[in-house]
Amino acid sequence: MKTQTSNFSIVNEFHVENILRSILYENGIIEIVWDTNIELIEVPHLKHAQKAIAVLGNGNKMPIFFTAHEFLAVSKDGSVFAASTEGVKYTLANAVLIDSLPKKILFNFFLNFNRPIAPTKGFTNREDAFSWLLLSSINPE
């Protein structure tokens, strides 16, 4: 059953209790929402996200939109994994919601030091992120 969220129809969802909620929208974008219990994203958390993306995308590479609550950080090993070939196994492009100064600082640090393999960009709103993801999916860099 399809539901609506901010003008984007939800086709399917995959939950990993106390870790994340993943949402597949009808436009093919998968949103990853980290559980508020998590303060530091580690490699095992990212592997759960990969599994969710693989399930929702039927094993295909998908455009991914990440949202995060305040005070959420990524471990050094998590950052290295997220930027690696293995870490983007099911990822066409990553858009990250950057809605605060601390998130912007952490995101810029990640981009500068880990140099992700998949196209990765931060956005201040969902609409711009989704537009970029859809363009990146049509014209991969």
Give me the DSSP letters along 62-130: EEEEEE--TT-EE-HHHHHHHHSTTTTTTEEEEEEE--SHHHHHHHHHHHHHH--SS-EEEESSHHHHH
Task: State what percent of residues in the chain have pLDDT above 70.
Answer: 91
Q: Residue 17 carries which side chain, given as an amino acid letter?
A: E
| pLDDT tens digits, 126-141 | 999 999 999 987 765 5
- The more confident residue out of 52 and 103 is 52
Res 139: pLDDT: 62
pLDDT tens digits along 11-41 = 999 999 999 999 999 999 999 999 999 999 9
Residue 121 near residue 95, CB atoms below 8 Å: yes
What is residue 6's predicted lDDT score, i.e. its pLDDT?
A: 56
pTM for this entry: 0.87
- The domain that holds 11 is classified in CATH as 3.30.750
What domain range is 31 assigned to?
Answer: 3-138
When divided into structural domains, the chain yields a total of 1
